Chain A
């Protein structure tokens, strides 16, 4: 299903990684996990990642900073912001991410978005 596309998940929560990895791998994606911005950039540099799922609030480098650096390296790779905050949704345009999804226990919305970006 995922045609072996590579997805990088950046989040500081272990349980989110567990959930996302299982769900995405089940759909046939190859999943990379980063617990912070620095790790994320390192993985992004050394792997041909097709899509990034990025949390905003993280210790150290925050998601916006990571987004800026990712886009500076490979602007064509879609980045989906996935966060517990809904209020930043309206600032999406200025942040230049590809989508903004409020985290939910149902991953349907996220999966739809991923599918759309990787078509």
Chain B
């Protein structure tokens, strides 16, 4: 092969490989190394390396070398004072020293390469306005460079410049992307950290109001997500409407109770967001309903409507807009509000759960109290029943036989009077015993629909003679009232008790006003029977005791009358109210619910000590 022919082949070979290298790899260092290796091999030199000129222009760094020992050195600096190279670069021309044996400058290269090069070739690598560095070829023997070789090296230099340029372009575009990403990230990080802070706060509160206020602040506050306005509506499942609760502008929250949006087609986009459970971005102009929720009426800005959900149930809707700066609502905005809405939903659900637990707990405590009372009564009943049998039998004998003795005692030696006292006292004991048993025993309830006025009339009739003898005037004021479900016997017992107390409070006579009326309330209404006397009232100091069992002011009273009455009325789901005017009189009002569903339940049922048996 002729030298010309071989040079041509070599050129072709080098060029095709240079193109391949430039196309194949994107890693700059990889490319440079492949290029310097190619050159060192093609031109048969002992060293080929690329030195990059540092930005400050005072030093070179060896970026790639054909010699493996140099590749490992991360940075190999070449003092910029290396005149040859500087000159070549400055002048953007090749520097060729064919025989360098007597030049002291080559000592620089000895430091780098480990030997004294005899031949030097430097190719500046530059673009029109950027100087990247230089490609340096060294040979340990003097070497001449053919014109074709120099031309080929020039092309190789351009290939290196091309690689550097494309890498540079890539680098800068990468930087741009990273910068953009970093910028976007900063926004996202800020939003995420806001969300994080909010969710932390939301999860620690169980007050619905505080949750709402926090969210409003988070959406519209300076430190928050930066929207201009927000409204939070919550679902009213019973009425099937969205009710506005909180409204916010620039972190200031206010009430939005004036907003009520029906959940049908009249509810517009808000109702749609609830039904579809997805966020909606819409211009307020195109939905007349949206205009209602802001202060300023109809607006022409974009709104985002984001449903608040928890456990796949819609609990409400967050509405945001940018009414002041008219910024568009982006997809990212909606995403962030959705995340916030999720947290809000969870927090609201938490709060609801807490309220539920709190109420249940209170009910439990109440029920436990009732149970304790029931147990106490049961124990009392047990004891009273046992005592009753033990006491009643001897009482029957004592009293009964004393009555007989009265009949057979002759003469007036005082014995008859003693026996009469015994009979009276036994009678009193028996009465107390009966009342005690009445109190501790759950009476069999038998509810019928009854006009309370009839019961009142029956009681008054029963006591007519008693009232007449005591000079007591009865003033009746009975309204026509509908019949209610009640235990006739028990209610009669109650009214009788109160009438008897009134009678006893007026030993010198007086007046009893008996009235009945109907009152409406949410639970279906009450029938009220009021018994008012002129007996001077109850001293304030003992007023709170009057319903306590065994509390009495009457000589010979058992103290159970009002206690039993109170329990009877409670069982009917009603209440007894006392209006006391010390010095004048007292009015007892028995209020019984018209709706039988409010009837109370049985607290206590004594155990039957005798087995029930059917008689065939």
Contact = CB atoms under 8 A, between A and B. Distances in A.
Contacts, number: 92
Interface in B400-427: 400-404, 423, 426-427
Nearest to A13: B393
Contacts of A88: 608, 610
A29 interface: no
Given A72-B616, A84-B393, A106-B427, A56 B610 contact: yes
A1 to B, nearest CB: 15
B389 A94 contact: no
Contact of B615 (A19, A67, A103): A67
A18 B608 contact: no
Nearest to A83: B389
Given A64-B610, A84-B393, A94-B614, A105 B404 contact: no
Nearest to A57: B389
A85 B388 contact: yes
Contacts of B403: 105-106
Output the residue of B395, B400, B426, B609 with the most chain A CB within 10 A.
B400
A23 interface: yes
Nearest to A65: B613
Interface SS of chain B: helix
B397 A16 contact: yes
Contacts of B609: 85
Interface residues of B, number: 35
A16 B393 contact: yes
B399 interface: yes
B397 to A, nearest CB: 4
Contact of B437 (A56, A64, A87): A87
A99 B423 CA distance: 25
Contact of A19 (B389, B404, B613): B404
B57 to A, nearest CB: 115
A47 interface: no
A114 B396 CA distance: 18
Contacts of B392: 84, 102-103
Nearest to A96: B615
30 contacts: A16-B393, A16-B397, A18-B397, A18-B401, A19-B397, A57-B389, A64-B612, A64-B613, A67-B615, A72-B615, A84-B393, A85-B388, A86-B388, A86-B434, A87-B385, A87-B441, A88-B608, A88-B610, A90-B444, A91-B608, A91-B612, A94-B614, A95-B613, A95-B615, A103-B396, A105-B395, A105-B399, A105-B400, A106-B403, A106-B427
Interface of B: 385, 388-389, 392-404, 423, 426-427, 430, 434, 437, 441, 443-444, 606, 608-616
Given A84-B392, A96-B615, 6 more contacts: A64-B610, A71-B615, A86-B441, A87-B385, A95-B612, A105-B399
